[in-house]
């Protein structure tokens, strides 16, 4: 059954659609969260650690995690879907006989927790038979404290009716634009509440909230269609990020862009200078720098999901990864970053460090048990587990491209370009299992001739490899042009886990990149 704006909002007065409050519509009090606070919670964690030690663990840590999700989607003038989910439980990780063991429980009671701890130790002891080298943890200072996402309004406390109203107000802004036939919009909310304790004395609590508003408009004409999506990234923030974002103000121009793409010229393939806006470049950073510098991929220990890495350990300090003007860094401290937090899931304080410095490959992503593999004395704080039932392992921090020290604008880069293509927004992409050869597309494309944008293009993709591409970078925007983008869901591991990660960058130019025409009709002489 199709639910329209009027019936949905009218029905919300008698159906519980959400919790929390906005000033104009106070709802009932929110339901009580699972019992996981204060001394009772700390007692459960202590019981888990004590049970693990009694069973033979030389190290143990425990995480009580509550993970919540809420999604609402609209299609034109009606609600297309609403979903929510919640998991809650404890995950216990141990070292026994030099090997890792892990077990979890959705029951956070003393008997269940102690049984899970004993099970984790039994798994560790059984794993010893296949162990090549005993687990060695890099030292980490004992940490205690609480950290929460800075925000004004908890999105989980905003009634679902208010979220629906915000989304349904977008269709009237675009429906009268020529050629527009469809529009989809959505709001995703993810909340993580974690309490971590270790047998070394660390006890930290973190509450992380992420939101993602979206809008995509599709134009149709003569059997052809083109879409344009808003370039508003997901962010670690509260509901105020949604209400202040640019989507309502730019909705009509997005719809007009979709129509213009229908009439745009099909690109002529060849080698051209490529200018990438931050809304496009972030994904290329993610795939060609973020994943290749994960140490487990570099060593071939992570291969099942998306392969290993061309950037092997022997290339550290030697590989000319990029041009001299390029510095790429990992950063779990940047405000709003999707992977930003105070401590990782090893209880290690997070940090910022270089992966590529002035073009040279200098750093990797590590956890406490990985640091010694490459002779480092401390972890880089890159451990993460999706929920209580997932084992913590190395996950990507926010990985970003440093801006130029010059006050260079996007207009400056365009003006300095004789023959090129400007791409913004994300499109299709593909990269091989060494994270080396790749192809990316985008949302909008414009031809540049003699320093000016001359016309829109369509059917555009660019193709290169990670080293050739980054070494071709010859211009970067300045600090004022730097933007943070990212993805709520990045997969890794088997069973697969998802984490959220941001990538910041300025616009950048890359010389003589292969530009492809991806439309089959162009290859057979069509218009």
Domain boundaries, the chain: 3-26+37-263, 265-523
> pLDDT tens digits, residue range 429-450?
999 999 999 999 999 999 999 9
Q: Are strands 508-517 and 270-276 parallel, antiparallel or unpaired?
A: antiparallel
Is the CB of residue 49 less than 8 Å from the CB of residue 120?
Answer: no
Q: What is the pLDDT of residue 23?
A: 29
Residues 6+ apart with CB under 8 A from 383: 344, 345, 346, 348, 367, 368, 392, 393, 394, 395
What's the token pair of residue 212? 């993602």
Average of pLDDT values for 496-507? 98
Q: What is the pLDDT of residue 521?
A: 53
Q: What are phi and psi of 456, to 5 degrees?
A: -75, 155
Average of pLDDT values for 460-468? 99
Is the pLDDT at 4 greater than 70? The verdict is: no
Is the pLDDT at 526 greater than 80? The verdict is: no
Q: What are phi and psi of 324, to 5 degrees?
A: -60, -30
Query: Alpha-carbon torsion 503, 509, 514, 517, what sign?
Result: positive
> pLDDT tens digits, residue range 243-294?
999 999 999 999 999 999 999 999 999 999 999 999 999 999 999 999 999 9
Is the pLDDT at 69 greater than 60? The verdict is: yes
> pLDDT tens digits, residue range 15-54?
222 322 222 233 333 334 444 457 889 999 999 999 999 9
Average of pLDDT values for 87-95? 99
Q: What is the pLDDT of residue 304?
A: 84
Residue 69: count other Cβ atoms within 10 Å of its Cβ: 17
Is the CB of residue 72 less than 8 Å from the CB of residue 163?
Answer: yes
From CA 276, how far away is CA 421, in angstroms rounded?
A: 8
From CA 25, how far away is CA 457, in angstroms rounded?
A: 47
Is the CB of residue 509 less than 8 Å from the CB of residue 273?
Answer: yes
From CA 229, how far away is CA 139, in angstroms rounded?
A: 46
Average of pLDDT values for 83-107? 98
Average of pLDDT values for 65-70? 98
Q: What are phi and psi of 278, to 5 degrees?
A: -55, -30
Q: What percent of the chain has pLDDT over 90?
A: 89
In 90-227, which ranges are continuous DSSP H helix?
110-127, 160-168, 171-174
Q: Among 6-15, 318-327, 393-402, 491-500, which is the least confidently predicted range?
A: 6-15
Average of pLDDT values for 296-311? 92
Is the CB of residue 415 less than 8 Å from the CB of residue 289?
Answer: no
Is the pLDDT at 98 greater than 90? The verdict is: yes
Is the pLDDT at 480 greater than 60? The verdict is: yes
Is the pLDDT at 185 greater than 90? The verdict is: yes
Q: What is the pLDDT of residue 1?
A: 40
Average of pLDDT values for 117-127? 98
* pTM reported for the whole predicted model: 0.92
From CA 448, how far away is CA 411, in angstroms rounded?
A: 11
Average of pLDDT values for 86-90? 98
Q: What is the pLDDT of residue 18?
A: 30
From CA 151, how far away is CA 178, in angstroms rounded?
A: 39
The CATH classification number of 3-26+37-263 equals 3.30.2290.10
Is the pLDDT at 522 greater than 70? The verdict is: no
Work out the mean pLDDT of the chain and round it to a whole number. Answer: 93
Convert 364-387 into a string of H (helix), E (strand) and C (coil): CECCCCCHHHHCCCCCCCCEECCC
């Amino acid at each position: 059954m199709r639910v329209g704006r009027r019936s949905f909002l009218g029905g919300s007065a008698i159906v519980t659609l959400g919790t929390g409050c906005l000033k104009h519509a106070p709802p009932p009090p929110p339901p009580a969260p699972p019992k996981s606070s204060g001394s009772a919670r700390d007692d459960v964690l202590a019981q888990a650690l004590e049970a693990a030690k009694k069973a033979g663990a030389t190290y143990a840590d425990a995480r009580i995690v509550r993970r919540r999700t809420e999604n609402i989607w609209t299609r034109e003038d009606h609600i297309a879907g609403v979903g929510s989910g919640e998991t809650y439980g404890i995950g216990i990780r141990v070292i026994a006989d030099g090997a890792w063991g892990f077990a979890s429980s959705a029951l956070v009671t003393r008997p269940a927790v102690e049984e899970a701890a004993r099970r984790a130790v039994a798994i560790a002891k059984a794993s010893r038979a296949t162990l090549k080298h005993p687990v060695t943890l890099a030292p980490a200072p004992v940490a205690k404290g609480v950290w929460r996402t800075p925000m004004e309004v908890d999105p989980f406390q905003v009634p679902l009716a208010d979220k629906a109203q915000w989304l349904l107000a977008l269709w009237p802004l675009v429906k009268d634009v020529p050629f527009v036939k469809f529009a989809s919009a959505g709001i995703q909310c993810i909340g993580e509440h974690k309490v971590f304790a270790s047998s070394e004395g660390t006890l930290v609590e973190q509450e992380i909230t992420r939101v993602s508003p979206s809008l995509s408009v599709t134009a149709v004409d003569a059997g052809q269609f083109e879409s344009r999506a808003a370039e508003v990234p997901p962010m670690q923030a509260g509901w105020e990020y949604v209400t202040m974002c640019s989507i309502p103000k730019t909705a009509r121009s997005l719809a007009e862009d979709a129509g213009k793409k229908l009439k745009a010229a099909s690109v002529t393939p060849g080698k051209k200078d490529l200018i990438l806006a931050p809304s496009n470049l972030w994904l290329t950073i993610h795939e060609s720098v973020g994943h290749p510098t994960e140490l487990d991929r570099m060593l071939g220990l992570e291969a099942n999901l998306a392969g290993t890495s061309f950037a092997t350990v022997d290339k550290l300090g030697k590989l000319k990864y990029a041009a001299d003007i390029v510095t790429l860094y990992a950063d779990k401290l940047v405000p709003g970053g999707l992977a930003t937090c105070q401590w990782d899931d090893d209880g290690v304080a997070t940090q910022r460090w270089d992966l590529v410095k002035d073009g040279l490959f200098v750093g990797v992503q590590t956890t406490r048990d990985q640091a010694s593999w490459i002779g480092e004395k401390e972890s880089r704080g890159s451990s993460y587990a999706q929920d209580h039932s997932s084992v913590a392992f190395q996950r990507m921090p926010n990985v970003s491209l440093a801006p130029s020290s010059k006050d260079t604008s996007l207009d400056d880069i365009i003006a300095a370009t004789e023959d090129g293509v400007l791409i913004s927004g994300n499109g299709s992409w593909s990269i091989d299992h060494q994270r080396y050869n790749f192809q990316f597309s985008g949302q909008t494309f414009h031809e540049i001739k003699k320093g000016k944008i001359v016309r829109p293009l369509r059917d555009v993709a660019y193709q290169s490899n990670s080293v050739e591409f980054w070494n071709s970078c010859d211009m970067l925007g300045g600090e004022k042009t730097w933007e943070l983008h990212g993805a709520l869901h990045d997969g890794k591991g088997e069973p697969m886990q998802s984490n959220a990660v941001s990538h910041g960058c300025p616009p950048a130019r890359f010389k003589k990149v292969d530009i492809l025409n991806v439309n089959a009709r162009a290859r057979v002489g069509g218009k």
